[in-house]
Structure 1
Amino acid sequence: MQTIQNYINGTFEDPLSGDWLDNYCPANGEVYGKIPNSDQADVDKAYEAAKTAFPEWSETTLDHRSRLLLKIADLIETNLQRFAEAESQDNGKPVNLAKSIDIPRAASNFRFFAHAITQFSSESHESVGLNAINFTLRQPIGVVGCISPWNLPLYLFTWKIAPALAAGNCVIAKPSEITPLTAFLLSELCTEAGLPKGVLNIVHGLGKTTGQAIIEHPGIKAISFTGGTTTGAHIARTAAPLFKKLSLELGGKNPNIIFADCDYDAMLETTLRSSFSNQGQICLCGSRIFVETSIYEKFKADFVSKVKVLKVGHPSESGTNIGALVSQSHLEKVMTYIEEAPQEGGKILCGGHAVSVKGFENGYYLEPTVIEVATDTCKINQEEVFGPVVTIMPFETEDQVLDMANKVKYGLSATLWTNDLKRTMRLSKKLEAGIIWVNTWMLRDLRTPFGGMKSSGVGREGGFEALRFFTEAKNICIKY
């Protein structure tokens, strides 16, 4: 039985209340460990540790901070296999996916921000004729809170804490209670790397207890959160009277728009990946596929034939394309959307059923599912399903597909397939999404801003945007 503990002031500790939660393995549905359900007392203790560590950490040289983060990155890479297996055990994703994407990107987050902080500069402005000069200091905020989700556990956890630490803040972080294992393992590496006590504190538990204690703590000056839109709205309401800085990366219902002039073979392979990677449990997956009428029937036949041969299996098995969903409750939620789709005219072209994997019959497995919808306003086309489920429907004109693409409350990402440069520019400007991929998907450059519009959140992460969020700008005007 794996026992996960809080990491406070450089030491591992049980929850002060003695309250523990079961941790399930999605691949077999069995309890394999327990985690703390931390409360206000644990968060207070973590805050005191962070508050004590902040003065010295914030005054360390950029070179020193950079070297520590680079060492953590190296240690993650050294432990690649161990972390990939832990991520798979906790999340249900194929081990090979975690090994090739999640864990390397977690190391890249530390490495990128270790270098970025040494290039992050202040601005200065000479007031000509007034004998004055203004310059801007970028100073760390203090103690900040980072709350990450279960779908990309270590990748998104480090996406937040790396820039926060690089900027000189001390951090209280909460990973998802569903997938806490790799964050726990990371705390061991932070100690090994020599990160000072109290600089990073990791508290585990439920959102309504641990998360709530973080967002309402008056000493925690900023919150970076990735998760559901409803929870994001609650955080905003809670934080507003306390004047906390907020970065909220929330839900997505992303359009994948395919024109007849695209590179068809490249589009088909990438669309398969953008639909079902990580069991569709990525906020950037293209879950609404719109196809120009002239190639719609060909696409439908080709796409469905490829989806049907995707292998659903245990995450550790070679050749597994679709692993387990993260939890029983999430599987049931996704199934509800599939079952209700025909009531609004949806036609299930393939999939739609839970899967029993031999030897792991209690795991949370689901066939990749393609649903042809009659209208873009149906429930499954408007709400975030967050599973291996996509909808497809045809379109006639640019204006029609633009209207359908934008007619949701979300605005996180969009994918556009066309070789027409003028069309690319027209639609990219008009699509209501924070990131637009043209003739590709999930091609990320960590220097670029990342975030959503509308109900997909506020603020931007990535590159210098993250370092700006985790610092306060102070202008100094000197007359000489």
Structure 2
Amino acid sequence: MTVSTKSNIYSNFVGGKWVESSSGDVLRSINPANKNETVGYVQDSTKEDLNAAVASAKEAQYQWKKLSGSERGQYLYNVANIMEKRLNEIAECATREMGKTLAETKGETLRGVAILRYYAGEGMRKVGDVIPSTDQEALMFTTRAPLGVVGVITPWNFPIAIPIWKIAPALIYGNTVVIKPATDTAVTCAKILECFEEAGLPEGVINLVTGAGSIIGQGIADHPDINGITFTGSNNIGKQIGKSALQRGAKYQLEMGGKNPVIVAADADLDLAIEATISGAFRSTGQKCTATSRVIVESTIYDTFKEKLLAEVKKITIGNGLKDGIWMGPCSNESQLQTVLSYVKKGLDEGGSLIFGGEKPKGSEYDNGFYVQPTIFEDVTSQMTIAQEEVFGPFIALIKVDSVQEGLDIANDVQYGLSASIFTTNIGHMLSFINEMDAGLIRINAESAGVELQAPFGGMKQSSSHSREQGEAAKDFFTSIKTVFVKG
């Protein structure tokens, strides 16, 4: 078991065993809805602990890759079934650690289950193609080889889905894994690893090491025996990891920030656009890389849109995500709360008009949590900080434009290119948006947040390293192509 008999202390998982860190120290994970509540303690690991995990993964990889795809897939099916049985436990833990509502974490857990089953099936799909040779007496074809040991570094905002959508393809294609989750949600990750343990994966195939990003995260980037690194998180950290991986020739995959626009054309279904804007901006307290951040509205419908938007946002209930009737939980930590409040100040300082929220809600039930109101600014120009930088909170900037083309120009006027959506009934506007929008995920008459698990996911510009996750596209990162020429 991961939990100490003394208290709720969670260990690392290395070589098929739960082991304490060599440092003897632990890190506290707290409930953002009530900072006085401790969810659990995780290991404050050292490079020595990381080295042990990597050595274990390296030793296990040879036998793991020799298994057939269907054999590896059966393990993933087993994990999925175990996770499904533990749905309520895992979801409740994630809500207590991260803050989003229980309905959202249950949905995220079920998505993790679906991802596992999807990649279990991938074990039976083709891994190459026959290629005609100029030599009629020869056979030429391609196959796929695993990278080896893969380092997985995950954030706190999707503590179930993101680890699973990285781990599952890594394993099905024959790699072994060392995962370092965000400390804020490392207890949830430990519960996921328990499911892998119960499913009976061979020792060393998957390993968990918790601790500081500067030690364990950077250690993964620098480690000579880690052949590939998949990372989701901030741009600054991602670029640092990419630089370290590049210097030693390791393959890397970075999914980073977004400043995602929604364009609302004059011919749009306004009720649909408002519903999707609110969901995209404020679900998960806006803490999604695909969250709606800028809402670009044609001037002829701007006032009507704003009035309807404000009326609906006022209905949002804020509180502990475990309670019935709560629509939006707290920010995930004190730092994120202060970041949101700092952008409120920047918006005001640069001439924006705060028309809703922007403060901590009042009341004793909010005093010990990292709560903030949904926040809406107007009179925003594209040059303002709040229109350029990722806030990662329940925060939108309304921008008025005179045409869809002007909206497109503003939508593209940022360093990011992750997701974008438009609401329109005009096929010409749809096609222009599809062709001209610089984003990896294009959504028409749907919120900016969300992508189906079987579809490629990733961004353009500064939002990613230009690789794609999920679906069959994951194969491109987690394997290398071998070209084989056979002559009798």
Question: What range describes the TM-score normalised by the shorter chain of this pair?
Answer: over 0.9
State the 1:376 CA deviation. Answer: 1.2
1:427 is the counterpart of 2:436: no
Q: Distance in 1 between matches of 2:363 and 2:420?
A: 34
Maintained 8 Å contact 1:337/1:385: yes
Equivalent in 165, 171, 176 of residue 171 of structure 2 = 165
In the alignment, is the contact (CA less than 8 A) between 1:369 and 1:389 conserved in 2?
yes
The equivalent residue for 2:114 is 108
Give distance in 1, aligned partners of 2:99 and 2:11: 22
For 2:366 and 2:399, how far apart are their aligned partners in 1?
A: 35
Q: 2:290, 2:450 within 8 Å by CA — same for their partners in 1? A: no
Q: Do the aligned partners of 2:380 and 2:398 also contact (CA within 8 Å) in 1?
A: no
Q: Deviations over 1:245-265 (max 9, x none)?
A: 111000000011111112222
Q: Summarize the alignment of residues 18-417 of structure 1 with structure 2, pairs less than 5 Å apart.
A: 18-30=24-36, 32=38, 33-99=40-106, 101-128=107-134, 131-356=137-362, 358-359=364-365, 361-417=367-423
Equivalent residue in structure 2 for 1:463, among 467, 471, 480: 471
Q: Determine the C-alpha separation between the residues in 2 that align with 1:219 and 1:371.
A: 48
Tell me whether 1:439 sits opposite 2:435 in the alignment. Answer: no
Distance 1:11-1:204 versus aligned 2 partners, 3 A rule? same
Q: CA deviation at 1:467?
A: 1.7
Deviations 1:331-372 (A, max 9, x none): 011100012211111111110111245345211001011111
Note if contact 1:313-1:357 (Cα within 8 Å) is conserved in structure 2. no
Counterpart CA distance in 1 for 2:102 and 2:425 is: 35
Question: How far apart, CA to CA, are the structure 2 residues paired with 1:345 and 1:34?
Answer: 44
Q: Does 1:452 align with 2:459?
A: yes
Structure 2 residue identity aligned to 1:136: T
Question: 2-side partners of 1:131 and 1:373: how far apart?
Answer: 71
Q: Work out whether residues 417 and 463 of structure 2, in 8 Å CA contact, stay in contact via their aligned partners in 1.
A: yes
Farther-moved stretch of structure 1 (351-360 vs 118-127): 351-360
Q: Secondary structure at the match of 2:132?
A: strand
Q: Any idea what the Cα deviations from partners look like across 1:82-113, whole Å, max 9, x if unmatched? A: 111100000011112211x2111111111111
* Matches of 1:139 and 1:254, distance apart in 2: 36
**Moved segments of 4+, more than 6 Å:** none
3-state SS of the aligned residue for 1:374? Answer: coil
User: Is the 1:289–1:391 Cα contact (8 Å) retained in structure 2?
Assistant: yes
Using the TM superposition, name which of 251-260 and 359-368 deviates more. 359-368
The residue identity in structure 2 corresponding to 1:124 is V
Q: How many residues align?
A: 479
Cα offset, 1:162, TM superposition: 0.6
For residues 134-185 of structure 1, what are the alpha-carbon distances to aligned partners after superposition, in whole Å with 9 as ceiling and x for unaligned? 2111011111101110001111011100100111110001111111112101
What is the letter of the counterpart of residue 81 of structure 2? D
Q: Name the SS of the counterpart of 1:390 in structure 2.
A: strand
Worse overlay, 128-137 or 200-209? 128-137
Greater displacement, 277-286 / 419-428: 419-428
Q: Post-superposition shift, 1:74?
A: 1.0
Give the drift of 1:413.
0.5
- Secondary structure of 2:160 counterpart: helix
Distance in 1 separating the partners of 2:339 and 2:202: 42
Considering only aligned residues, what root-mean-square deviation do their CA atoms show, in Å?
1.3
| 2:315 counterpart letter in structure 1 | V
Residues of 2 paired with 1:282 and 1:165: CA distance? Answer: 26
Return the alpha-carbon distance in structure 1 between the equivalents of residues 379 and 48 of structure 2. Answer: 50
How far the C-alpha of 1:418 sits from its partner, in A, is 1.0
